[in-house]
């Protein structure tokens, strides 16, 4: 393993002050982002941390996310991944793994004081190269019917220079036999980790009874004042089954939104459950959907029906306590503007919103991985190049938006997950993930690029409660 590094000073950025500093009242104990940050620090060896250190860590992580975006542009396709070192409370460091790191790269980064918290590290593979090998590993194992029952996920770990395969068994002889040609061709090491968790479930896209006729919605088709944001409940039938991701603009100027591909099929009428009605209203037609079976993708774009206003925001909910409370869940009491698109940073904080579970936060556990998923009717598949997190998600959260709360940055679209508490995201489990919680995301840039659309972004002055994770801000 190549572990050479260029380690810069770790103090100056904090001494100079943080651009979007917030106080403790912004992220009070018990709020999702605070508890996610606390758990993140605890898992990194910080057993006793003050409220001030936790807030400082949140703000510092935000600044490093912005810096990461700048350096991704500089290093381009040589980047493998970026990762936060959270071993020191309040003073995270950003590790960036780069293939073919040169002295000119080092001089460039060193010349900017704002990059003093960056640690450059050599890696054998670029992101594209690692993703190619990961896909070959997954496809090879999935072809074997018996092995497909015990494989879970996999990724490349630059720290150890190993390709990791998570499996639900101690027996690896057959794995070695199948993967040996790949190991020899690419001169790689493969390590197996025991994973007892269940296969991730992509919910069934059931419509219940036959689809209702369009004229049955005529009394509710009053779109003149309807505002569409991310995180609102949608359906292709007569009951809510998924969540809107982010609002978008098509190349011809038509508005619309993104959601998970398994939520809507190409040509489906998308329906919204508005706050002012107990029935769904049609808001658009699915222009394209890729549901993940066989191609490793899971995203869809919907063309807007004229009459609604599509806003560059996501609705945030308080914790709803349980699923299937369609008529009494906490309607989006506060909508958060989306200002940019951010790349995932391993070990960094993230949040997602879905109408059944509310706003839940956690950490990014892997930035580019593959995972086996299964529909509720038992069809297995592999999804590739997805983001893995330990936030809580349940049935109905599919398609919902995941974001960097403090930086207002779109991160990805929820496509599958497991909850440690069954079909609910309970307080405590909801915030930092906890044992058994897992949510995977399609990276927002993947969906935008593949679908050929642009995300709608908000501009204008920042407001106090834009970065707020406190209940008082949820209004």
Q: Per-residue pLDDT tens, the chain, 475 aa: give them.
A: 334 444 333 333 333 444 455 777 778 887 778 888 998 899 899 988 999 999 999 989 988 998 999 999 999 999 999 999 999 999 999 999 999 999 999 999 989 999 999 999 999 999 999 999 999 999 999 999 999 999 999 999 999 999 999 999 999 999 999 999 999 999 999 999 998 888 887 765 444 333 333 333 333 334 445 788 898 888 877 566 889 999 999 999 999 999 999 888 899 888 886 555 556 678 888 998 887 655 678 999 999 887 788 999 998 765 444 333 333 334 445 678 999 999 999 999 998 888 777 788 889 999 999 999 887 666 788 999 999 998 888 888 899 999 987 678 999 999 988 766 666 776 544 555 556 788 999 999 999 999 999 999 998 777 766 767 665 565 4
**Tokens read off for 74:** 């500089």
Burial of 51 (0-12, 13-18, 19+ CB in 10 A): middle
Q: In 3D, which of 213, 222, 320 has the Cα closest to residue 276? A: 222
**CA quadruple 116, 118, 121, 123: dihedral positive or negative?**
negative
Phi, psi dihedral angles at 294 (to 5 degrees): 90, -20
**Tokens read off for 88:** 């020191």
Q: What's this model's pTM, rounded to 2 decimal places? A: 0.88
In angstroms, the CA 401 to CA 13 distance is 30
Which whole-number Å values give the CA distances from 412 to 180, 214, 233, 246, in the listed order?
34, 32, 17, 9
**Which residues pair with residue 403 across a beta bridge?**
351, 410
Residue 66 CB contacts under 8 Å (≥ 6 apart), including other chains: 407
Are 152 and 195 contacting, i.e. CB atoms less than 8 angstroms apart?
Answer: yes
* pLDDT attached to residue 200: 81
pLDDT digit string, tens, across residues 379-410: 788 999 999 998 888 888 899 999 987 678 99
β-bridge pairing 340-341 and 5-7? unpaired
* pLDDT attached to residue 403: 94
Are 208 and 238 contacting, i.e. CB atoms less than 8 angstroms apart?
Answer: yes
**Tokens read off for 30:** 């018990």
Q: In 3D, which of 218, 291, 229 has the Cα closest to residue 255? A: 229
Which whole-number Å values give the CA distances from 464 to 37, 46, 449, 470, in the listed order?
20, 29, 32, 11
* pLDDT attached to residue 238: 57
- Length, in residues, of the chain: 475
| Contacts for 115-118: CB closer than 8 Å, 24+ residues apart | 115/8, 115/67, 115/71, 116/8, 116/9, 116/10, 116/11, 116/12, 116/13, 117/8, 117/9, 117/10, 117/13, 117/60, 117/64, 117/67, 117/92, 117/93, 118/8, 118/67, 118/71, 118/93, 118/94
Q: In 3D, which of 159, 156, 315 has the Cα closest to residue 228? A: 315
**CA quadruple 383, 170, 129, 77: dihedral positive or negative?**
positive
In angstroms, the CA 242 to CA 344 distance is 23
In angstroms, the CA 241 to CA 197 distance is 25
Are 432 and 36 contacting, i.e. CB atoms less than 8 angstroms apart?
Answer: yes
Return the biggest CA–CA distance within the chain: 67
3-state helix, strand, coil in the chain (%, to 5): 25, 30, 45
- In this structure, the number of other CB atoms found within 10 A of the CB of residue 114 comes to 14
Eight-state DSSP code of residue 268: P
* pLDDT attached to residue 464: 62
* pLDDT attached to residue 290: 87
């Amino acid at each position: 393993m190549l572990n050479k590094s260029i380690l810069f000073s770790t103090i100056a950025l904090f001494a100079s002050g943080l651009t979007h500093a917030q106080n403790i009242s912004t992220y009070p104990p018990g709020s999702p982002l605070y508890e996610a940050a606390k758990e993140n620090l605890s898992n990194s060896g910080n057993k006793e941390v003050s409220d001030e250190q936790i807030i400082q860590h949140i703000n510092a992580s935000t600044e490093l996310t912005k810096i990461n975006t700048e350096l991704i542009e500089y290093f381009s396709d040589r980047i493998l991944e970026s990762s936060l070192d959270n071993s020191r409370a309040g003073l995270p460091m950003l590790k960036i793994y780069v293939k073919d790191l040169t002295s000119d790269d080092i001089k460039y980064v060193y010349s900017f004081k704002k990059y003093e918290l960056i640690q450059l590290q050599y890696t054998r593979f670029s992101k594209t190269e690692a993703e190619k090998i990961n896909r070959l590993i997954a496809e090879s194992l999935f072809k074997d019917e018996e092995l497909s029952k015990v494989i879970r996920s996999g990724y490349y770990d630059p720290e150890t220079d190993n390709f990791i395969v998570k499996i639900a068994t101690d027996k690896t002889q057959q794995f070695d036999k199948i993967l040996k040609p790949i190991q020899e061709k690419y001169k790689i090491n493969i390590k197996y980790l025991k994973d007892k968790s269940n296969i991730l479930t992509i919910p069934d896209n059931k419509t219940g009874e036959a689809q209702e006729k369009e004229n049955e919605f005529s009394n509710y088709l009053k779109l003149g004042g309807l505002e569409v944001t991310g995180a609102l409940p949608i359906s292709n039938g007569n009951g809510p089954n998924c969540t809107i991701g982010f609002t978008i603009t098509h190349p011809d100027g038509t508005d619309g939104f993104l959601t998970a591909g398994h939520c809507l099929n190409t040509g489906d009428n998308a329906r919204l459950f508005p706050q002012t009605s107990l029935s769904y209203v049609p808001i658009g037609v699915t222009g394209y959907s890729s549901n993940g079976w066989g191609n490793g993708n899971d995203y869809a774009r919907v063309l807007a029906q004229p009459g609604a206003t599509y806003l560059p925001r996501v609705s945030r909910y308080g914790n709803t306590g349980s699923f299937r409370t369609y008529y009494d869940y906490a309607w989006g009491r506060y909508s958060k503007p989306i200002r940019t698109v951010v790349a995932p940073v391993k070990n960094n904080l993230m949040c997602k919103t879905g109408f059944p579970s509310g706003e839940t936060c956690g950490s990014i556990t892997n930035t580019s991985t593959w995972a086996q998923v299964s529909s509720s009717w038992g069809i297995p598949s592999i999804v590739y190049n997805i983001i893995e997190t330990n936030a809580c998600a349940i049935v109905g959260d599919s398609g919902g938006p995941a974001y960097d709360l403090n930086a207002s940055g779109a991160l990805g679209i929820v496509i599958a997950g497991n909850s440690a508490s069954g079909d609910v995201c309970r307080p405590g489990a909801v915030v930092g993930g906890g044992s058994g919680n897992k949510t995977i995301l399609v990276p927002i840039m993947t969906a935008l690029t593949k679908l050929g659309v642009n995300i709608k972004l908000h501009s204008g002055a920042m407001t106090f409660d834009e970065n707020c994770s406190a209940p008082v801000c949820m209004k």
